[in-house]
Structure 1
Amino acid sequence: MKVLHLSTHDIGGGAARAAYRLHTGLQDIGLQSQMLVQEKSSNDKTVIAPKIRLFQGIAKAKLTFECLPLKLYTQKKNTPFFIQWLPDRVISKVAQINPDIINLHWISGAFMQIETFAKLKHPLVWTLHDMWGFTGGCHVIGECDRYKVSCGACPQLNSINEWDLSRWVWRRKVKAWKNINLTLVSPSSWLAECARSSSLFQNLRIEVIPHGLDTQKYRPINQHFARETLKLPQDKKLILFGAIEATSDRNKGFHLLQPALQELSKAGWKDNFEVVIFGASQPENPPDLGFKTYYLGHLYDDLSLATVYSAADVMLVPSLQESFGQTASESLACGTPVVAFNSTGLKDIVEHQQNGYLANPYEVDDFAKGIAWILENEQRLEKLSFYARKKAEQEFTLELQARRYSALFEEILMVGKKSPFSN
């Protein structure tokens, strides 16, 4: 079976890393898997990207043109919003590879025009990494539920016009994807329910398959060694927080994390705990978190990430909305319990008071309580760490994810062969 993954990036960003992990997992179980991307960062020969510098420059120029219509919305929120209106070269490249099945991933950033989907004459499986597929352009819906009807009057565009840009994008999707041969895969139950309730995807097959990871790379490392490697203190409980744009992306919840930590500090834990942050460099004027804080900057490789998870005593994921939450699953695999809010995709990863703590959404007081509950009792912490690793081994291994996808691909291809409309 020849599988082709379409993704804007191969390893740049959380969604890309998830796609690449699946790609390597399928190879490990014997499938012929390739990736077609717009921007390649790895040295993997099975990842295909434009080699000619001219085409790479065109791709970057396209992104500038892609965003031009958004300039009409001067009060737009600073959140990702993609229109996917420019033509692309995907069809010809896919034809050269000639796969049996195509697995779509995060394809925003002017990589694929909305209308290209229906032109792909292969069975399509789309792994949802956020909400863009069923909205009028946004990737994180917030409190908006207009995607259930038709979008328009988009709060992220700060628009009160029913026939705004989000309605135009939504209508293009309705028209282009009307009779598409598409199966959806969601990494979490929450995102699957969002997709099922959407006007665009309500009639499609939706499966839930959690993101996998290499549990041999993400595994517990001796904490003393990990801290020594990262030059972190040995005599403190370390609280970890990290994500891409950890302190600037509002969806990652830093604005909730800060008061929770300040509350802990005032409650008498100031001398016992210290904070470690990755995914952001130390700002010129660091915010007051109530504790001594270490900024590790951006970490890109698995070994560095596994080391920092292992160095910590608890991982904090105060996100507002997560389609899954790979920092949470990575942390569990390294034996480090997680505190998160009892909402969205994180509910599939963190089991309350079993491998972490699920705080009431989005209550700062309860989030602070969860951190203290995990760290105040050493025997409890050891038990949580044991079950954290066990959860990852049972549900988030790369092999398990790959075999689930392989079975789905085989089923789709078998149904296609039996169909009287198949070639």
Structure 2
Amino acid sequence: MKILHLSTHDIGGGAARAAYRLHTGLRDIGLQSQMLVHEKYSNDRTVIAPEIRLFQGIAKAKLTLEALPLKFYRQKQNTPFFIQWLPDRVIPKVAQINPDIINLHWISAGFMQIETFTKLKRPLVWTLHDMWGFTGGCHVTGECDRYKVSCGACPQLNSSNEWDLSRWVWQRKLKAWKNLNLTLVSPSHWLAQCARSSTLFQNLRIEVIPHGLDSQKYRPINQHFAREALNLPQDKKLILFGAIQATSDKNKGFHLLVPALQELSQSGWKDDLEVVIFGASQTENSPELGFKTHYLGHFHDDISLATVYSAVDLMLVPSLQESFGQTASESLACGTPVVAFNSTGLKDIVDHQQNGYLAKPYEVKDFVKGITWALENEQRLQKLSFYAREKAEREFTLELQARRYSALFQEILIQ
């Protein structure tokens, strides 16, 4: 069985890392898996990408052209919105590789035209990494549910026109994908339910398979050693927040974390607790959090991230919407409990008061209560840590994910 994964990147971003992990997991259990990507960041020979610099330059220019229709929406929100309207070079590459089955991943940013799906001529499995597949262009819908009808009057475009750009994109998807041999895989029950409620995907088969991780890389490391390696204090409780674009991406919830930490600092923790942040650097405009804060910058490898998770006592994930929430699963694998809101994909990862705390969405006071509850009793914290690692080993290993996908691929191919 030859498997080909289509992904905009291999390891550049959360969705890409999830796709690459699945690819390596499938190879680890003996399957023939390759990736075809728009931009390659790894040195993995099983990942295929344009090698000629001219093609790489064309790819960057294409991304600029892709965004041209958005220029008509000058009040558009600063959120990702992809139209996928320009032609691509995917089909000749796929024909050359000649896979038995194709696993789509995050294919935005100009990688694949919407109409290319029908030309792939293979059984398709699409791993959903966000909501773009069933919307008119956005990746995170927020409070909008117009994808359940036909999009249009898009709030992210700040449009009141029913026949706006989002409706055009939605109509193209409806026309191009109506007869696809397509199976969807969602990493969480929440995202699966969103897909089932959409007009584009309501009649498709949708399976739930959580994202996997290498539990030998993401594992508890001696906390004293981890703190020493990162130059963090040994005599404080440490709480962690981090993500790609941690402080600038509104969906990651930093705007909710700031008042939560400020309130926490007024409740007797100021001298005993410090904050650690990765995925961002301190600037002159960084807000006062009420605690001494260690900005660690960006990490791009698993071992460094596992060291960060292991160095702290508690991970905070105040995201508004997560299709899954890999920082939460990575943290659990390192034996670090998680406080998050009881919403979206994080509900599949964090078990309330077993390996963390799920606060009422999006109540800052209850989020503070969760932090306090987890940290105030050392014996409780140790139990949360034990069950965090236990959950990751039971449900989020790479081998388990790979074998679930393998079974699904085989079932599809024999139909």
TM-score category (smaller protein): over 0.9
Find the aligned partners of 1:207 and 1:178 in 2 and give their Cα distance: 19
Asked if 1:172 is matched to 2:172, the reply is yes
1:264-292 per-position Cα deviation (integer Å, ceiling 9, x unaligned): 00111100110000000111232110100
Instruction: Quote the Cα distance in structure 1 between the aligned partners of 2:221 and 2:287.
Output: 30
C-alpha distance in structure 1 between counterparts of 2:182 and 2:268, whole Å: 54
- Aligned partner letter, 2:361: P
What is the CA–CA distance in structure 1 between the aligned matches of 2:249 and 2:104, rounded to whole Å? Answer: 25
**Which residue of structure 2 lines up, in the alignment, with residue 320 of structure 1?**
320
Residue equivalent to 2:383: 383
Q: Is structure 2 residue 134 aligned with structure 1 residue 134?
A: yes
1:371-393: CA deviation from partner (whole Å, max 9, x where unpaired): 01101110000000000000000
Q: Work out the CA distance in 2 between the residues paired with 1:95 and 1:75.
A: 42
Matches within 5 A, 1:139-288: 139-288=139-288
Q: Which residue is equivalent to 1:421?
A: none
Specify the code of the residue in structure 2 equivalent to 1:238: L
Structure 1 counterpart of 2:384, which letter?
A: L
Letter in 2 for 1:381: L
Q: Distance in 1 between matches of 2:223 and 2:270?
A: 21
The DSSP-based 3-state class of the residue aligned with 2:64 is helix
Instruction: For residue 71 of structure 2, give the secondary structure of its aligned residue in structure 1.
Output: helix
Q: How many residues align?
A: 415
* Unmatched tracts of structure 2, length 5 or more: none
The Cα of 1:50 is off from its aligned counterpart by: 0.1
Aligned to 1:368: 368
**Matched residue type, 2:352:** H
> In 2, Cα distance between the equivalents of 1:250 and 1:16?
20
Looking at structure 1, the residues matched to 236 and 53 of structure 2 have their Cα atoms a distance apart, in angstroms, of: 49
Partner Cα separation in structure 2 for residue 68 and residue 126 of structure 1: 27
DSSP 3-state at the match of 1:26: helix
Match of 2:9 in 1: 9
The corresponding residue for 2:25 is: 25
- Equivalent position of 1:311 in the other structure: 311
1:420 corresponds to which residue?
Answer: none
Structure-1 separation of matches of 2:273 and 2:248: 23
Measure, in 2, the Cα distance between the counterparts of 1:213 and 1:282.
Answer: 29
Task: State the partner residue of 1:403.
Answer: 403
SS, match of residue 306 in structure 1: helix
Cα displacement string for residues 237-262 of structure 1 (whole angstroms, at most 9, x for unaligned residues): 00000000000000000000000000
Name 1:348's counterpart in structure 2.
348
Question: How far apart, in 2, do the equivalents of 1:84 and 1:210 lie?
Answer: 27
Question: Gaps (5+ residues) in structure 1?
Answer: 416-423
Q: How far apart, CA to CA, are the structure 2 residues paired with 1:300 and 1:198?
A: 35
Cα distance in 2 between the residues matched to 1:52 and 1:286:
41
Structure 2 distance, partners of 1:186, 1:26, is 17
Deviations 1:114-146 (A, max 9, x none): 000011100000000000000000000000000
Match of 1:394 in 2: 394
Q: Counterparts of 1:210 and 1:3 in 2: how far apart (Å)? A: 19
Distance 1:60 1:190 in 2: 34
TM-score by length of 1: 0.98
Other-structure match for 2:66: 66
Q: Distance in 1 between matches of 2:283 and 2:180?
A: 47
> Which residue of structure 2 aligns with residue 101 of structure 1?
101
Match of 1:90 in 2: 90
Question: How far apart, CA to CA, are the structure 1 residues paired with 2:158 and 2:278?
Answer: 32
Rounded to whole Å, the distance in 1 between the matches of 2:304 and 2:373 is 27
Which residue of 1 is the match for residue 36 of structure 2?
36
Quote the Cα distance in structure 2 between the aligned partners of 1:59 and 1:285: 34
Tell me whether 1:52 sits opposite 2:78 in the alignment: no
**Aligned partners of 1:54, 1:307: CA distance in 2, in Å?**
39
The aligned counterpart of 2:116 is 116
Q: C-alpha deviations, 1:102-124, integer Å up to 9, x for none?
A: 00000000000000001110000
Find the aligned partners of 1:68 and 1:231 in 2 and give their Cα distance.
Answer: 46
Are 1:331 and 2:331 matched, yes or no?
A: yes
The one-letter code of the counterpart of 2:315 is M
Partner amino acid, structure 2, of 1:136: G
TM-score, normalising length from structure 2? 1.00
Structure 2 distance, partners of 1:346, 1:191, is 11
Provide the C-alpha distance between the structure 2 equivalents of 1:25 and 1:301, rounded to a whole number of angstroms.
Answer: 17
What is the rounded CA distance, in whole Å, between the counterparts of 2:210 and 2:284 in structure 1? Answer: 38
Q: Report what 1:300 is aligned to.
A: 300
Partner SS for 1:297:
coil
Amino acid at match of 1:100: D
2:131 counterpart letter in structure 1: M
Give the letter aligned to residue 73 of structure 1.
Y
Structure 2 CA distance, aligned partners of 1:185 and 1:58? 32
Deviation readout 1:183-207 (Å, 9 max, x if unpaired):
0000000000000000000000000
Q: Cα RMSD over matched residues? A: 0.3
Question: Which residue identity is paired with 1:88?
Answer: D
